[in-house]
Structure 1
């Protein structure tokens, strides 16, 4: 692909399903110039907090700014790495523990570029995209604002 990709919609409501992930993988079988895929799935943990166990995370974002930042990350990744395809999906709304909230799918002719691009993209998302996570604690209705680590 050439530089100057069309912006893609990143946000999805609720958890990212295993079926969505598998359909994404299957849709790339016809692209025979791909030699490697790297997939990152961010899953919600049931961490122990002062008020109880995390039961999920409620995500919100400054969507317009976040979509712009996601697009800039995609463009930079295509400039830095030899990539064939790159897809990023992030949840908005409530995602229960055990479910997926971030799906990064990188394809390239060779594995090294796929691995390196995947790590770069995830780190850039965590550092720069204005997404806010509110950890939901137990049945109490308590919450903590999550740090992006």
Structure 2
């Protein structure tokens, strides 16, 4: 059994981290395509108040286990070379990256389809919570939408 990786990063996901992750894959010469999803905190309005940030929390051990399960199933289903999931914890401001999903396969379609399914399953199945912090410092619990 593979070691279960902690998928969480405290704070926003730095674009340099995304670039470094891509660069590390140049040695994997069986890869023909990558697909990347970057989730960014959006400035929604709730009751005419702007969202300033989202405070992400999770039951980390359970969430990492579920993410691992999803990752392993999708690697097998699509014949991926590799797949990675990273999610922010803490207060993430509008415009910052909070989710990074990266899939790699011998062919692009498998990488794209796997990435899309992985994001959908993370949003549905992984125990993560987001509290939207509004401009007046009130808050609203975020609902995951497809």
Report the TM-score range of the alignment, normalised by the length of the smaller protein: over 0.9
Partner of 2:26: 29
Higher helix share: 2
The equivalent of 1:17 in structure 2 is 14
Q: Is 1:144 paired with 2:140? A: yes
SS at match of 2:85: strand
List structure 1 segments (4+ residues) > 6 angstroms apart after TM superposition: none
CA distance in 1, matches of 2:99, 2:56: 11
Q: How many residues align?
A: 145
Is the 1:5–1:75 Cα contact (8 Å) retained in structure 2?
Answer: no
Q: How many angstroms apart in 2 are the aligned matches of 1:133 and 1:141?
A: 15
How many Å separate the matches in 1 of 2:100 and 2:34?
13
Structure 2 match to 1:38? 35
After TM superposition, list the pairs within 5 Å mapping 1:101-116 onto structure 2.
Answer: 101-116=98-113
**Structure 2 CA distance for aligned equivalents of residues 77 and 141 of structure 1:** 39
How far residue 51 of structure 1 moved from its aligned partner, in angstroms, is 5.1
Q: SS of the residue aligned with 2:25? A: coil
Cα distance in 2 for residues equivalent to 1:83 and 1:122: 15
Rounded Cα–Cα distance in structure 2 between residues aligned with 1:64 and 1:17: 23
- TM-score, normalising length from structure 1? 0.94
TM-score by length of 2: 0.96
Gapped runs of 5+ residues in structure 2? none
The SS at the match of 1:29 is helix
Residues 71-107 of structure 1 show CA distances to partners (whole Å, capped at 9, x for unaligned) of 1001111121110010100000000000000000000
Partners of 1:44 and 1:14 in 2: CA distance? 12
For structure 1, the residue ranges without an aligned partner over 5 or more in a row are: none
Instruction: Tell me the C-alpha RMSD between the 2 structures.
Output: 0.9
